[in-house]
Amino acid sequence: MDTLATYALRLGDDSLIAGQRLGEWCGHAPALEVDLSLANVALDQIGQATHFLALAGEIEGQGRDADKLAFHRDVMDFTNCLLVEQPNGDFAQTIARLFLFSHYQELVFAALATSKDAHFAAIAAKAVKEVAYHATLASDWVVRLGDGTEESRARMVAGLDWMWRFVDELFVMDEVDTAALAAGVGIDKAALRGAWDQRIDAVLADANLARPAARRPVLGGRVGRHSEHLGHILSEMQFLQRAYPGATW
Amino acid sequence: MSDASKEWPLWEVFVRGKGGLSHRHVGSVHAADAKMAVEHARDTYTRRMEGVSLWVLPSSAITASDPGDAAALFEPAEDKVYRHPTFYKIPDGITHI
């Protein structure tokens, strides 16, 4: 795949795996209204994935559409960041993941909306409104749980602690990112770190939570080195198209 | 959640369909406070572009008329047809009145 196709693929895989993972809550959330909230967010993410994967397939020019890319790639071909494939755990752990990821996505899409490439810019401009709501929703829950009862606070701390080692990977600029940036299409993710830190710290302060202790970062998602969790996500997500190739309804 | 006292309080949800229309009651949500109620209302009742504005208010803030008083409250209006503004022509193109 060429650089820009890979670039679109990464954006699509982030949203796809985030949405698939979050969708696991459907029917299991603590309250009916929360069930709908999480499902709405997951559907927004799947929608973003559809656009970015379709764009990746178009740039690649090998006849692969969004479905082909989503359902007929193996785990090592997925380029999502490790954060989005992490287990849901309890509600607080899920909120921790959505909180860290949606603030990152909001900054990414806001920057990408000014891309020289009209396709990337259009998808980002639509998605930035969606993820702004995700970030508000997740931040709200971080404050409620962090500044809530002793138990909710302990769970929020544990959730953030679990997810924190996957944060640094979000802002890494490798050769694909650098080339996409040089082409005027991609964005400088490393430059977003300061703004992200400020947003996260402001919410944590509201929630009376300390920033988790720095950990040795785990990297590798962008080049297909995933945790054991992604394989399980794919086995469920891809089952139908693997068992009945081309099935439609 | 079987213990009713641990349930989040109930909020009534009103949606304005589009500019110019009034907010209409659409249902209710459970939420811990007003902010959460707006989020839940948004996620429950405006997922299919139903609205441009939301109101929520605590269900407990509503005082309802007593069904037992219905006869005294409403029946006296039955024979006062002259109170209906039915003698005006409504111009074409006015859809909400």
Does B32 contact A at CB distance below 8 Å? yes
Residues of B with Cβ-Cβ distance to A32 under 8 angstroms: 30
Residues of A with Cβ-Cβ distance to B35 under 8 angstroms: 140
Q: Is A41 exposed, middle or buried (0-12, 13-18, 19+ CB in 10 A)?
A: buried
Distance from B93 to chain A by nearest Cα, in Å? 34
pLDDT band, very low/low/confident/very high, at B1 (cuts 50, 70, 90): very low
Does B10 contact A at CB distance below 8 Å? no
Q: Identify whether the C-beta of residue A20 lies closer than 8 Å to the C-beta of residue A237.
A: yes
Distance from B31 to chain A by nearest Cα, in Å? 8
Sheet bearing B24-30, strands edge to edge: B24-30, B10-16, B53-58
A35-51 residue pLDDT tens: 999 999 999 999 999 99
Round the average pLDDT of chain A to a whole number and report it.
97
* Mutation for testing the B interface, residue in A33, A41, A140, A142 having most B CBs under 10 Å: A33
Residues of A with Cβ-Cβ distance to B29 under 8 angstroms: 33
Q: Identify whether the C-beta of residue A93 lies closer than 8 Å to the C-beta of residue A141.
A: no
Q: Identify whether the C-beta of residue B24 lies closer than 8 Å to the C-beta of residue B14.
A: yes
Do the chains contact at A40 and B47, CB–CB below 8 Å? yes
Distance from A36 to chain B by nearest Cα, in Å? 6
Mean of the pLDDT values across residues B61-73?
91
Report phi then psi at B20, rounded to 5. 100, -25
Which candidate from B1, B35, B44 shows the least CB-CB separation from A36? Answer: B44
pTM of the model: 0.90
Does A247 contact B at CB distance below 8 Å? no
Q: What was the pLDDT predicted at A212?
A: 96
A133-166 residue pLDDT tens: 999 999 999 999 999 999 999 999 999 999 999 9
Distance from A69 to chain B by nearest Cα, in Å? 28
Angle formed by the axes of helices A32-60 and B34-45, nearest 10°: 60
- Would the pLDDT of B2 be above 60? no
Distance from A58 to chain B by nearest Cα, in Å? 29
Which domains are delineated in chain A? Answer: 3-243 (1.20.1260.10)
Structure tokens at A214: 């720095």
Determine the Cα–Cα distance for residues B34 and B57; give it in Å rounded to an integer. 8
How far is the CA of B42 from the CAs of A12, A36, A65, A207, in angstroms? 26, 10, 33, 24
Determine the Cα–Cα distance for residues A240 and A164; give it in Å rounded to an integer. 33
Does A33 contact B at CB distance below 8 Å? yes
Q: Say how many C-beta atoms besides its own lie within 10 A of residue A181's C-beta.
A: 17
Which candidate from B30, B39, B47 shows the least CB-CB separation from A137? Answer: B39
Determine the Cα–Cα distance for residues A143 and B47; give it in Å rounded to an integer. 25
- Cβ–Cβ pairs < 8 A, chains A and B: 26
Q: Which residue of A has its CA nearest to B40?
A: A33
Angle formed by the axes of helices A32-60 and A91-112, nearest 10°: 40
SS (H, E, C) B6-45: HCCCEEEEEEECCCCCCCEEEEEEECCCHHHHHHHHHHHH
Mean of the pLDDT values across residues A161-190?
97
Q: What was the pLDDT predicted at A158?
A: 98
Q: Which long-range contacts (CB under 8 A, 24 or more apart) does A137-140 make?
A: A137/A37, A137/A41, A137/A98, A137/A102, A137/B39, A138/A95, A138/A98, A138/A99, A138/A102, A138/A103, A139/A99, A139/A103, A139/A203, A139/A206, A140/B35, A140/B36, A140/B39
Find the Cα–Cα–Cα–Cα dihedral A87, A88, A93, A96, rounded to 10°. Answer: 90
Does A37 contact B at CB distance below 8 Å? yes
Determine the Cα–Cα distance for residues A74 and A1; give it in Å rounded to an integer. 15
Q: What was the pLDDT predicted at B74?
A: 87
